[in-house]
A and B are shown apart, each in its own frame.
Chain A
Amino acid sequence: MRLDGNAAAGALQEVFPLDATLAFATCAACGARDQLGGAQAYMDAPGVVLRCAHCESVLLRLARNENRIWLELSGCASLEVRTP
């Protein structure tokens, strides 16, 4: 089931101090720049997978168990977070 990056806000909040769904990610594959909230989200992959809304390449993967969170960001060429 495909959702929006917005649905991953709670999971990302465990890692990022600011709202990561508002961050602008540049896709390492196609160069598109968009807010993570607008990415395609697969919440039950298992773990969370965000894909570029333009080319569907993987931007971010996040998995967790009881005592560890694992974040893979090789699909993001850059992540721009606006400070409040």
Chain B
Amino acid sequence: MDSRDEAEGVRTLELSVPGWPGHCAGQHADLRLTAEDGYQAVRSYSLAGPPRNGTVELTVERLDDGEVSPYLVDEFRPGDQLELRGPVGGYFVWDPSDPGPLMLIGGGSGVAPLAAILRERAALGSSAPARLLYSAGSEERLIYREELDELVQPSYTLTREQPPGWTGYSRRVDRELLAETVWPASENPIVFVCGPTAFVETVAELLIDLGHAAQRVRTERFGPTGK
């Protein structure tokens, strides 16, 4: 197990998983923890790392009232054991042969599976046009920033706090912001939206309102579960 800090409260765990069959960008893994008294908690995390390289990378954001994420972000150490089930889920997966341009919209650590898709696209040498819109509270909360700047020139919006000289957007995603940054519906993009439930639902509704077909808008909400 190796790990790196991505931002305050966000950590990527690099796990070696014997027999891991490889995965597609956008899939997730179910992780099960068992406490000494037998209590079990299962959570889903997006597979952040590149597919098919033998290891599994999970980017975990600490939810202060979470049962599992504080342990994974603050306490998990090399040698500790986890149970993983996966890869699972083929719905939030980009098909490189999709004819439309690729549109990725992430809120907070919801950028994790979107980064996996961009890495996959780069690894395949795909010429599919791609855009990323990434919303976070502040510059310090942006994860994978250097890499994303290389993979695609993202549109950033910082909703709470902006550094001096900030040239990106400075507000929550709204209709006008989507109209400016998302491929128009007439180009039939395949859109992947991942983030907290409220963010995803707002964005998905606005996209439908802007004329995007529901079948072309794939969503992955995340949030605290098990409560």
Interface positions of A (Cβ within 8 A of B) = 1-7, 9-11, 13, 19, 21-22, 35-38, 43-44, 53
Contact = CB atoms under 8 A, between A and B. Distances in A.
Interface of B: 28-30, 42, 44, 85-86, 88-92, 197, 214, 218-227
Contacts of A2: 197, 221
Contacts of A44: 225-227
Contacts of A3: 197, 221-223, 225
Contacts of A21: 89-91
A5 B220 CA distance: 9
A4 B85 contact: no
Contacts of B30: 10-11
A1 B65 CA distance: 14
Contacts, number: 72
A23 B189 CA distance: 22
The DSSP consensus for interface residues of chain B is: strand
28 contacts: A1-B224, A1-B225, A2-B221, A3-B222, A3-B223, A3-B225, A4-B91, A5-B91, A6-B28, A6-B92, A7-B28, A7-B44, A7-B220, A9-B88, A9-B89, A10-B28, A10-B85, A10-B88, A10-B89, A13-B85, A19-B89, A21-B90, A22-B90, A22-B91, A38-B214, A43-B226, A44-B225, A44-B227
Contacts of A19: 88-91
Contacts of B86: 10
Given A9-B88, A10-B30, A4 B220 contact: yes
B225 A6 contact: no
- Among B30, B44, B220, the one with the most A-chain Cβ atoms within 10 Å of its Cβ is B44
Contacts of B197: 1-3
A56 to B, nearest CB: 13
A69 B30 CA distance: 17
A2 B223 CA distance: 8
Given A9-B28, A10-B85, A38 B225 contact: no
A35 B226 contact: no
A38 B89 contact: no
B125 to A, nearest CB: 25
B63 to A, nearest CB: 11
B226 A37 contact: no
Query: Which 5 pairs of residues, A with B, have the shortest CB-CB distance?
Result: A37-B91, A9-B89, A10-B30, A9-B88, A10-B88
Contacts of B85: 10, 13
A44 B59 CA distance: 22
Contacts of A11: 30
Given A1-B197, A3-B197, A37-B92, A10 B44 contact: yes
- Among B29, B86, B88, B222, the one with the most A-chain Cβ atoms within 10 Å of its Cβ is B88
A22 B27 CA distance: 13
- Among B89, B90, B220, B226, the one with the most A-chain Cβ atoms within 10 Å of its Cβ is B89
